[in-house]
Structures are given as structure tokens and as C-alpha cells.
């Protein structure tokens, strides 16, 4: 399995909400499969201070071999990796759009995006099946009586691509937690959507999302549930669905995109490792 690795240069930066920047990149190389499915995940490699572009190992057929080569780069030169969802590929081009949540200078990705301008360069690794779910979304949604997608603003790019891939006749419920009303985005789909926006307005991240699950009366029938966002909130919601609502673990695709008060550079917790084991085992 070849792991795509390329440099990507900023060609456009737009604020689509006050706290979200949509950045268009021109990739030097881009397989035809990129942009051909929803919820495609990539790793962006951010340069260290003083570097015009990150130091990247060459593309390899062995993804783990590439990662070992990445780790072999001296720490002072090694790029910082962060996971993102491809929002869109412009048809017939090597241009891809990626949305960045702007939450200040506390993390390397948001800090970089705040200052991004045309000509800036990153590394892009993937998309790869290694980063995706064990069951394709379209297949799981088609087998369910209804679909529920829930997450915070970091999940919006993935949610937008997922609902955009749903066919007519599918019932899909969306519960999306954002900072405030200004962070809402338009979502296009052929499916029958019921969208509920949850505005934090100062509440703790994930609190409103967990609350709406506890208070809601879920439809009857067999669902397929897609969850993403702050890891603690996602974990609590999944536990509630399985233990209190009787939803099968196999019917829940879940990902903790970020951790409250921890970064991706911090060591995984015991709960993080347990989540990873369950995902790798097919939920």
C-alpha cells in the first residue's frame, strides 16, 4: 500500500466563518483517488520555525517504513503532524480545500493558519485507508434505518462531505456543537436532513452535545451513528448510546479529533489507547 506524500502550496485563504479558514492548496502530486470519497483524512506536516517548507521523508510503499523515517528526522527539524479532513478537491485539478478551526495560537496548526498566505508550503501525507473507518460510510448508512451524525466544529468538514454523499431517501439527523450562531455553515445533501445547531456560548466543549443525547428521544429502528470531536465528549456519548440506548458498538463510527487541555504531542491516555484498540477491532 503506497502512502501518498507530497508538498502542497497555499493558493488562497478565505474566512468562511469568523473562526474558520478555508485554505486552498496546490499539491505537487495527487492520486486520482483523492477527493473521490467522503471523509478522506490526511496528515499535514507543518514546518519548524525558520524553515520555508517541512523536511519530509520520500514516499514509500510501506506506510510504517515512512513513519519510521519521519521519526528518524532530528526533533528540531522534524515537522509537526496534524490530522485533517479534505473538504473538497476541485474537479480536474490538483487543488484541495482544507478547513482550519482558528482557536488562537495555542496549537501549531491554528497558529499557522492564522498567518497563512499564498506561497506558504506544507507537507501532505495521505489520504490512506489506514486513516479511514473499517466499514465504508455509504455501506453502513444504506444498511441502517436512519443515520445520526454528531460532532463539534472540528467535525464539520467531515460531516459536510458525508451528508453530501448520502442519496435521496435517507433520513439523517445532525447535532452539531459550535461556538455561537456565527459558526453555522450551509450543508448540502440529497438526503432528508434534520439539523440541530448547538451554540456553546461559553459552555465547556462537548457539554451541550452530551446533553442533547441524554435528553433526546431517538427514532425507532436500527441506526448508524457517526461521532467525532473532543475525545472525552465522544467517549461519553458512545458509552451512553451503547449502555443506555442499546445501540450496537458495530453501528457507531467514532473518532476523538482532539483532547481538552492536551495536544496531539502529549502521550495518549489509557482511555485513548482503549478507543484505538476498539476502532482497530472494527468497533
User: Alpha-carbon Rg of the chain, whole angstroms?
Assistant: 19
Contacts of 202 (CB under 8 A, 6+ apart): none
Task: Identify the CATH number of the domain in which residue 71 sits.
Answer: 2.40.30.10
pLDDT at 135: 66
Antiparallel, parallel or unpaired: β 95-101 and 80-89: antiparallel
d(CA 41, CA 256): 13
Q: Is 230 helix (H, G, I), strand (E, B) or coil?
A: strand
Q: Are residues 102 and 197 in the same domain?
A: no
Task: Identify the CATH number of the domain in which residue 251 sits.
Answer: 3.40.50.80
pLDDT at 216: 84
DSSP state of 124: E
Q: Are residues 141 and 273 in the same domain?
A: yes
Q: Are residues 142 and 202 in the same domain?
A: yes
Last-in-domain residue among 78, 111, 131? 131
Last-in-domain residue among 131, 160, 190? 131
Q: Are residues 191 and 259 in the same domain?
A: yes
Query: Is residue 103 within 8 Å of residue 19, measured between CB atoms?
Result: yes
Q: Are residues 169 and 110 in the same domain?
A: no
Q: Are residues 158 and 217 in the same domain?
A: yes
Q: Are residues 251 and 168 in the same domain?
A: yes
As averages over each run of 10 residues, the pLDDT of the chain (283 residues) reads 87 97 96 89 93 88 86 94 95 96 83 96 85 73 94 96 94 96 96 95 89 88 94 93 92 86 49 49 46
Residue 6 cell numbers, joined: 507530497
pLDDT at 273: 46
Query: Is residue 158 within 8 Å of residue 228, measured between CB atoms?
Result: yes
Query: Is residue 195 within 8 Å of residue 187, measured between CB atoms?
Result: yes
The pTM assigned to this predicted structure is: 0.88
Last-in-domain residue among 131, 152, 168? 131
Q: Are residues 124 and 185 in the same domain?
A: no
Q: Are residues 223 and 270 in the same domain?
A: yes
d(CA 241, CA 225): 9
Q: Are residues 84 and 170 in the same domain?
A: no
Q: Are residues 117 and 142 in the same domain?
A: no
Q: Are residues 126 and 149 in the same domain?
A: no
- What domain range includes position 54? 5-131
Query: Is residue 57 within 8 Å of residue 73, measured between CB atoms?
Result: yes
Total structural domains within the chain: 2
The residue assigned the cell 497558529 is: 111
pLDDT at 127: 86
Amino acid at each position: 500500500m503506497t502512502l501518498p506524500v507530497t508538498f502542497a502550496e497555499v493558493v488562497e485563504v478565505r474566512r468562511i466563518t469568523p473562526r474558520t479558514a478555508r485554505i486552498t492548496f496546490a499539491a505537487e502530486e495527487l492520486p486520482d483517488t483523492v477527493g473521490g470519497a467522503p471523509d478522506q483524512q490526511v496528515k499535514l506536516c507543518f514546518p519548524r520555525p525558520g524553515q520555508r517548507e517541512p523536511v519530509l521523508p520520500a514516499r514509500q510503499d510501506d506506510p510504517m517504513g515512512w513513519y519510521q523515517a519521519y521519526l528518524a528526522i532530528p526533533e528540531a527539524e522534524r515537522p509537526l503532524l496534524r490530522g485533517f479532513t479534505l473538504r473538497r478537491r476541485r474537479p480536474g485539478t490538483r487543488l484541495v480545500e482544507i478547513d482550519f478551526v482558528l482557536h488562537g495560537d495555542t496549537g501549531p496548526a491554528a497558529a499557522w493558519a492564522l498567518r497563512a498566505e499564498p506561497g506558504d508550503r506544507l507537507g501532505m501525507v495521505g489520504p490512506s485507508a489506514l486513516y479511514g473507518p473499517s466499514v465504508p460510510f455509504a455501506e453502513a448508512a444504506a444498511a441502517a434505518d436512519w443515520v445520526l451524525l454528531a460532532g463539534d466544529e472540528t467535525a464539520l468538514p467531515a460531516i459536510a462531505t458525508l451528508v453530501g454523499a448520502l442519496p435521496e431517501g435517507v433520513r439523517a439527523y445532525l447535532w452539531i456543537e459550535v461556538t455561537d450562531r456565527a459558526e453555522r455553515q450551509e450543508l448540502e445533501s440529497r438526503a432528508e436532513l434534520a439539523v440541530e445547531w448547538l451554540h456553546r456560548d461559553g459552555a465547556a466543549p462537548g457539554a451541550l452535545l452530551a446533553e442533547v443525547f441524554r435528553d433526546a428521544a431517538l427514532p425507532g429502528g436500527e441506526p448508524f451513528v457517526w461521532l467525532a470531536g473532543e475525545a472525552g465528549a465522544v467517549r461519553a456519548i458512545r458509552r451512553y448510546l451503547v449502555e443506555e440506548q442499546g445501540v450496537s458498538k458495530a453501528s457507531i463510527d467514532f473518532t476523538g479529533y482532539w483532547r481538552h487541555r492536551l495536544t496531539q504531542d502529549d502521550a495518549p491516555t489509557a482511555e485513548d489507547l482503549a478507543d484505538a484498540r476498539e476502532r482497530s477491532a472494527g468497533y
